[in-house]
Chains A and B, each alone.
Chain A
């Protein structure tokens, strides 16, 4: 009402700041309790986390987290919990690696093919969950958890010497055949370290997500359904179709999660490929309020915490404290948003009350 735009943005920013502060305070308290010097540990962590090498690693890792976060956010916008991001992404990157290694194409086409395969596999795997939700009413929370386990089994079966993988020379790692260099995505150098080129694609996808949500009819229907499925249905939105399409889109995005790593540095899928980004993606989406910019912020924060925590083991502190901190941030940010919302409601009620009061008075004098 009398609220300026700046005021609104500030109100939105209070919550994450308070949450991070609270989580840091809790971590410090735990450190103190376990007998470590919280101040010096924090100093070391910040010092390590701000070296150029760390920052590049943070950006690379954040790219992966960002894609997972956007995948989560797409679902959240439709009130869907895509817990299957983890399975979708692993299956997608595995098949992308296999297909990428088995063809020889000119550079741009090769990379495109790998990306398309990854998106298709991720979308297909998510479509299963979407399909049984729409036709049989099975909650996507349960079905995607189950599909994660099935994906794990399928990969475990196919990722074996003699099937679609081979034993890497001189190590215990079992991996797919490396993708030839025509299927690599070139990075760029910052401070002597290579940043994934796919970071730019991820940023573009974030912008695309924003445009889709805010500037297209589909986005409007998506947001409307997310606010009230029933109201949207009454105004002619086919909610079943929306649920299915959203799930597929979320899955396609989830399929890309492993791509920066695959095209940028690993060039193969092996037992050592990072896994378990599913919950990370959801947490980051929550932290970023499903907004592309917020999710970017959340991804960077997450990546920074994970990177700088690596120094903790050297300092004699278990780095799992960061996991606890991350969970604390997610919870306290949501609590803080809720508190801000309640304060806001009260403030607006007061404002409305005052203006009505004024209205009655002016009406009486007229």
Chain B
């Protein structure tokens, strides 16, 4: 229902603002491409936090993933690169566990150190392994092959006439279906499978139950015979591996090269999607898709971004009405200002400066987190180190 409403809104906006690119197949497949690394980072964060450890080092683990992916990818094949990236991420995930679980280092401190180290490592290793290679240098790798794309055969041909009909909602749905089913990378499919697999393992197996128990109350889990320290090692290794895979995606699908600064904060955004998704894999994925969508629009037409002003204005208007009903005066005021402001911006200027578009995903995160934060429930043992002998 909500999805349908959102679709209606976007479809209407695309017509009003005359930006057909908003829901074109190109935009859809680009959104998907941008969303996958964030989904993988988010899943990494989910695994770690469900077991009670915050993984700020996701960013660094993704960087390691990009580097390893490129290093193995350009020498052998992109798939070997993916494996190497996963292995590299897993090693750093296990290292985070070593620091936080065995040595009792503050979880954020260890994460920050991993991020700093990964930046330095990437550059340092590039100076050794990439400099002197064709196209390689201290800040980028030689050309890496790409992971193959697949399409559902025949579907695009069937839907194409519907999509070009330009019937408001139906054509848009056709465009979306075409975007999702044509030219999809195998890694994207793997990522989708991993979302499902993460949900299944974490919420439908006894292993997952134990893992989550260590995130809620490690002492209780310990008393029932689950070793929280061992669980946290396992969870963080998986977490790092997922982040590494996200890095590999950036190298072998989103581009075909390792470049310094390529990760560009996606690890952090992944962390935000965990909160956004209330520590559930499905909702986390929706959050990541939202980021992917804004990210994709940024790289396409600037006018398309303008259309989002209307979307924002409508959403805020809706929230205002809801706040009025709930008799929440403060919220009503804030939402009304936002709605009027965005509407006025659209009518008055009609453009969003490209510099502002750059932080649209971040601002969205911030707004969503501060507006939709009431029903959020983090794992209770999160961020608290657990020492077996000192439990009480």
Contacts and interface: CB of A to CB of B under 8 A. Distances in A.
B369 A283 contact: no
Contact of A153 (B272, B356, B373): B356
B359 interface: yes
Nearest to B265: A149
A344 interface: no
Contacts of B275: 138-139, 142
Contact of B271 (A132, A137, A142, A321): A142
Q: Which secondary structure characterizes the binding site on chain A? A: helix
A156 B359 CA distance: 11
Interface string A330-341: 110011001100
Interface string A43-82: 0000000000000000000000000000000000000010
Interface in A137-154: 137-139, 141-143, 145-147, 149-150, 152-154
Nearest to A341: B104
Contacts of A335: 99, 103, 105
A149 B355 CA distance: 11
A81 B111 CA distance: 12
B283 interface: no
A327 B116 contact: yes
Given A141-B108, A156-B355, A279-B115, A327 B99 contact: no
A323 B120 contact: yes
B358 A153 contact: yes
A157 interface: yes
Given A283-B112, A334-B105, A334-B106, A146 B117 contact: no
Nearest to A318: B127
Nearest to A334: B105
Contacts of B324: none
A181 B212 CA distance: 61
B84 to A, nearest CB: 19
B315 interface: no
A167 B103 CA distance: 51
Contacts of A154: 355
B114 interface: yes
Contacts of B99: 331, 334-335
A324 B117 contact: yes
Contacts of A328: 117
Nearest to B353: A157
Interface stretch (B188-196, B247-255, B360-368): B360-368
Nearest to B117: A327
A282 interface: yes
Contacts of B106: 334
Given A146-B365, A149-B362, A321-B124, A136 B355 contact: no
B218 to A, nearest CB: 18
A326 interface: yes
Given A153-B356, A318-B123, A330 B114 contact: no
B363 A138 contact: no
Of listed B123, B355, B356, residue having the most chain A CB within 10 A = B355
Of listed B99, B127, B359, residue having the most chain A CB within 10 A = B359
Interface string B244-267: 000000000000000000000100
A142 B273 CA distance: 10
A147 B110 CA distance: 22
Contacts of A149: 265, 358-359, 362
A362 interface: no
A145 B119 contact: no
Contacts of B370: 132, 136, 138, 143
Contacts of B373: 136-138
Contacts of B113: 283, 327, 330-331
B268 interface: yes
B127 A338 contact: no
A77 to B, nearest CB: 14
A323 B119 contact: yes
Contact of A146 (B114, B115, B363): B363
Given A136-B373, A328-B117, A320 B124 contact: yes
Given A156-B358, A323-B117, A323-B120, A138 B127 contact: no
A38 to B, nearest CB: 15
A320 B356 contact: no
Nearest to B54: A141
B109 A330 contact: yes
Contacts of B371: 136
A241 to B, nearest CB: 18
Contact of B268 (A34, A145, A153, A283): A145
Given A138-B369, A146-B362, A331 B120 contact: no
Given A142-B369, A146-B272, A146-B363, A334 B109 contact: yes
Given A146-B363, A153-B355, A324 B120 contact: yes
A154 B363 CA distance: 12
Given A136-B373, A142-B271, A334-B106, A150 B359 contact: yes
Contacts of A279: 112, 115-116
A134 to B, nearest CB: 11
Interface in B149-169: none
Nearest to B364: A146
B123 A323 contact: yes
Nearest to B267: A145
B52 to A, nearest CB: 15
Given A157-B355, A330-B109, A142 B116 contact: no
A286 interface: yes
A251 B103 CA distance: 31
Given A318-B138, A331-B105, 6 more contacts: A152-B359, A318-B124, A331-B99, A334-B106, A335-B99, A338-B104
- Ranked nearest first, the 8 interchain pairs of A and B with the lowest CB-CB distance are A323-B120, A327-B117, A318-B127, A149-B362, A153-B359, A157-B355, A320-B124, A320-B123
23 contacts: A34-B128, A138-B369, A138-B373, A141-B56, A141-B108, A143-B366, A145-B265, A146-B272, A149-B359, A153-B355, A153-B356, A157-B356, A286-B109, A318-B123, A320-B124, A320-B127, A323-B117, A323-B119, A324-B117, A324-B121, A334-B99, A334-B103, A338-B103
